[in-house]
Chains A and B, each alone.
Chain A
Amino acid sequence: MGRRAGRKRWLWLRRVLSHPWGAAGLLLIGLFGLMALIHPLLMATVWNRAVYHPLVGFDPDAVPHPAPPSWRHPLGTDPMGRDVLSQLLYGARTSFLVGTVAGIITAILATAIGVIAAYRGGWADMVLMALCDVFVLMPPPVILLILGLLLEFNGLSFAVIYGLLAGLGSPAIVLRAHALSVRVRPFVDAARVAGGGSLHIIWRHLIPFVMPFSLLFMTFAASGAVLSEAILSFFGRTQIRLSWGTMIWFTQITFRWSPAGEAWLALLPPVIAITLFCSAFYMIGRAIEEASGEPYPA
């Protein structure tokens, strides 16, 4: 019986993955993961470090820089003679880190707060929800803009702070509402009568129920974090050494005085990468929403 119930519990996940957007999103994320993994391998085997290093590489044979796409440099080089493909692959690592860390922290924090507030009720509920009400008024990207003066952001610290800010806001409130709707169901009382402790009930009954919604907020937070990182890097507000956002920023400032035609092509790789990566997470979120059959209550 237990196994069957377990299988039923994961039915929503299968529905998400068989949804067109869910499958497409997962495929794209896998692709970007592969990109992030392949870069160190390429650097170690095929690519010469002096030429292809994403930060300090320089190709003396392909002058003048920026060079158009060629076999040596499939996406061309930037004005400092660095290979764009190598930068793009390296940037995938940063974005992957930012997206997954921010998403996971958001999901864990929001789930913990929502479930504890719903299960405990009373004062704990009131205090936690008052806290969340405040953080709803603080959109993470704008707060990060200010904190950028206070801290020197690298990819990891950016992701952690984004996750903390996002998780304390509306996700926790929504997850609490969902957890509350399970807590009042008879099977929770039955579990308690049968001798189940608080931890058991939270772990076996509340968390599995709110899981789809945690995952939903995880995808939205991941996509938001990657986009915010790119925007803040684009405006020069982070100390991240190389990400897709810094690539766009660098291209735009160096191409400002050149004919528009070249900037176009040079901007495309990082822009397409950011958009596809963010929409991959977003697609999965949408698929979860559609599989669970409701837009999450705001």
Chain B
Amino acid sequence: MDRAMVRFILYRLLRAGITLLLFQTLLFLMLQAMPGDFVSTLIGLPPPLRRGLRAAMGLNDPLWQQYLRWMRDFFTGHLGTTFRFPHQPVGRILWSLAPRTLFLFLPASVLSIGLGYWLGRYLGGRRRPWDGISLTFTGGAIVAATLFPPWVAFLLVQIFALRLGWFPAENVLGTSRWIGVVVPADTVILWLLGTGVLMAGALYLLGHVTRWHRHRTCLRRVGAVALIGGAVLAWHLSGGGLLALDLLWHLALPLITVVLLSFGEPMLLMRLAMLQVADEDYVRAARAKGLPPRAVRDHHIARLALVPALARFLIQLPFVMLGSLVVELAFFWKGIGRELLIAIDAHDIPVVMGIFSVVGTLMLLAHVLLDILHAWLDPRVRTAIGPGMER
């Protein structure tokens, strides 16, 4: 790592810090401007009690005191105390809701990027960009990306849950299966997520280790089957297999909804990026060498095309999040999105602030990482820092 890179990272972090400070301030001011406060939403409370509650919650303090208190709570990671339940830090509420949201959101993002990448690679590798198949697929992706989310949820529930009865409607878990189970569902969800991440890592390692082996295709297939079989067996032996299956079964419909709504964007981007890269000289050289078209497509064009597609998807992530917020509401999925809506209605400002600032901070982090990655890949970016010079 050279000095220019270190300077770039420091500069970018400084800018992110300023952004975070401004973001928090703006958020605070916006939420303070909301009419009424938490106490005014409680009906039928005698005025002395109201005064006492306001004083206890610190709602009577001058604005700058509340502001400083919020900033302290944010930067210590405590995130304040919710109004609705006594002495519950917002941080703890978010931690308790995070597994369910991640359970929906993480597989959904991975699947929609994967599906988009795979379809886009296929479409971008076709000779003529505008034949029937390409038109059908791109048109389908455009329509899917603009579908009305609550209606998709409604439609899938109508067809697959109420008519066909294949999947359950509107819940996170089936009650009958969980009678007498001492393990909380969130723990099972966390274990499932952990299994998924471990499996992905193991599969990647497998591909990497067998890279230069003569029978790599065969080895990879056998290895993948062994890994997946091992995981299933481990779950079965631990006794949580049926519980996990129940959770996954309930996950299916919301997952399909989110993937359907969000695979279009990466697919269209990937296709466009593929078409662009296909004219580069090194691609022509690879073709001239006599490589099979499939190898050129997968290893030469798609590799470079993935970068802009992935970058754009990262930027679009809040909108995928928003989509899953709507899906959470439609499926009564008890996650962070649903909590946000309830908190807004109850004027529970600490919770709203907490959710916004956590999501905002994560997004900011994603942007910073993306910029650093960009600078790492492209040396021209690192030297050009300072206002008016970057990019």
Across the interface, do B34 and A234 meet the contact criterion of CB distance under 8 Å? no
Report A7-34 CB contacts with B as 1/0, cut-off 8 Å: 0000000000000110000000000000
Q: How far is B144's CA from A283's CA once the two chains are assembled, in angstroms?
A: 12
- One of A137, A149, A267 near B363 (C-beta < 8 A): A137
Rounded to whole Å, the gap between the CB of B120 and the closest CB of chain A is 11
Of the candidate stretches A41-49, A209-217, A290-298, the one touching chain B is: A290-298
Residue B352 at the chain A interface, CB threshold 8 Å: yes
Across the interface, do B308 and A297 meet the contact criterion of CB distance under 8 Å? yes
Across the interface, do B143 and A146 meet the contact criterion of CB distance under 8 Å? no
Residue A180 at the chain B interface, CB threshold 8 Å: yes
Give the residue name and chain of the A residue nearest to B35 (CB): A150
Give the residue name and chain of the A residue nearest to B151 (CB): A271
Across the interface, do A20 and B387 meet the contact criterion of CB distance under 8 Å? no
Chain B, range 27-47, C-beta contacts under 8 Å to A: 30-31, 33-35
- One of B138, B139, B142, B158 near A264 (C-beta < 8 A): B158
Q: Which residues of A contact B268 (CB under 8 A)?
A: 286
Residue B319 at the chain A interface, CB threshold 8 Å: yes
Across the interface, do B30 and A146 meet the contact criterion of CB distance under 8 Å? yes
Chain B, range 1-25, C-beta contacts under 8 Å to A: 15, 18-19, 22-23
Give the residue name and chain of the B residue nearest to A149 (CB): B34
Across the interface, do A136 and B367 meet the contact criterion of CB distance under 8 Å? yes
Across the interface, do A223 and B146 meet the contact criterion of CB distance under 8 Å? yes
Across the interface, do A295 and B312 meet the contact criterion of CB distance under 8 Å? yes
Q: How far is B163's CA from A139's CA once the two chains are assembled, in angstroms?
A: 36
Q: How far is B142's CA from A293's CA once the two chains are assembled, in angstroms?
A: 18
Of the candidate stretches B62-70, B199-207, B269-277, the one touching chain A is: B269-277
Rounded to whole Å, the gap between the CB of B343 and the closest CB of chain A is 10
Q: How far is B318's CA from A170's CA once the two chains are assembled, in angstroms?
A: 12
Residue B166 at the chain A interface, CB threshold 8 Å: no
Residue A130 at the chain B interface, CB threshold 8 Å: yes
Residue A193 at the chain B interface, CB threshold 8 Å: no
Residue B309 at the chain A interface, CB threshold 8 Å: yes
Q: Which residues of A contact B325 (CB under 8 A)?
A: 142
Q: Which residues of A contact B148 (CB under 8 A)?
A: 227, 230-231, 234, 248, 271, 274-275
- One of B272, B315, B341 near A298 (C-beta < 8 A): B315
Residue A242 at the chain B interface, CB threshold 8 Å: no
Rounded to whole Å, the gap between the CB of A252 and the closest CB of chain B is 7
Across the interface, do A289 and B272 meet the contact criterion of CB distance under 8 Å? yes
Residue A195 at the chain B interface, CB threshold 8 Å: no
- One of B321, B347, B360 near A137 (C-beta < 8 A): B360
Chain B, range 142-162, C-beta contacts under 8 Å to A: 142-143, 145-151, 154, 158, 162
**Total residues of chain B contacting the partner, CB 8 A:** 60
- One of B34, B329, B363, B370 near A146 (C-beta < 8 A): B34
Report B124-135 CB contacts with A as 1/0, cut-off 8 Å: 000000100001
Give the residue name and chain of the B residue nearest to A290 (CB): B272
Q: Which residues of B contact A163 (CB under 8 A)?
A: none
**Total residues of chain A contacting the partner, CB 8 A:** 53
- One of B149, B158, B312, B388 near A122 (C-beta < 8 A): B388
Chain A, range 214-246, C-beta contacts under 8 Å to B: 223, 227, 230-231, 234-235
Knowing A136-B367, A275-B147 touch, does A150 contact B33 (C-beta < 8 A)? yes
Across the interface, do A170 and B315 meet the contact criterion of CB distance under 8 Å? yes
Q: How far is B313's CA from A281's CA once the two chains are assembled, in angstroms?
A: 20
Q: Which residues of B contact A283 (CB under 8 A)?
A: 142
- One of A252, A271, A295 near B269 (C-beta < 8 A): A295
Q: How far is B143's CA from A18's CA once the two chains are assembled, in angstroms?
A: 20
Q: Which residues of A contact B35 (CB under 8 A)?
A: 149-150
Chain B, range 298-344, C-beta contacts under 8 Å to A: 308-309, 311-312, 314-315, 318-319, 321-322, 325-326, 329, 340-341, 344
Residue A155 at the chain B interface, CB threshold 8 Å: no
Q: Which residues of A contact B245 (CB under 8 A)?
A: none
> What are 28 A-B contacts defined by CB distance under 8 Å?
A21-B138, A121-B387, A123-B387, A125-B388, A129-B387, A130-B19, A133-B22, A134-B19, A134-B22, A137-B360, A137-B363, A139-B318, A142-B325, A146-B31, A149-B34, A150-B35, A180-B388, A227-B148, A234-B148, A252-B154, A267-B151, A267-B154, A271-B151, A279-B145, A289-B272, A290-B272, A295-B269, A295-B272
> What would 8 more interface pairs be, CB under 8 Å, given A138-B26, A149-B344, A282-B142?
A150-B35, A235-B341, A252-B154, A260-B158, A267-B154, A271-B148, A294-B276, A297-B308
**B interface residues (Cβ-Cβ under 8 A, vs A):** 15, 18-19, 22-23, 26, 30-31, 33-35, 130, 135, 138-139, 142-143, 145-151, 154, 158, 162-163, 268-269, 272-273, 276, 308-309, 311-312, 314-315, 318-319, 321-322, 325-326, 329, 340-341, 344, 347, 352, 356, 360, 363-364, 367, 370, 387-388, 391
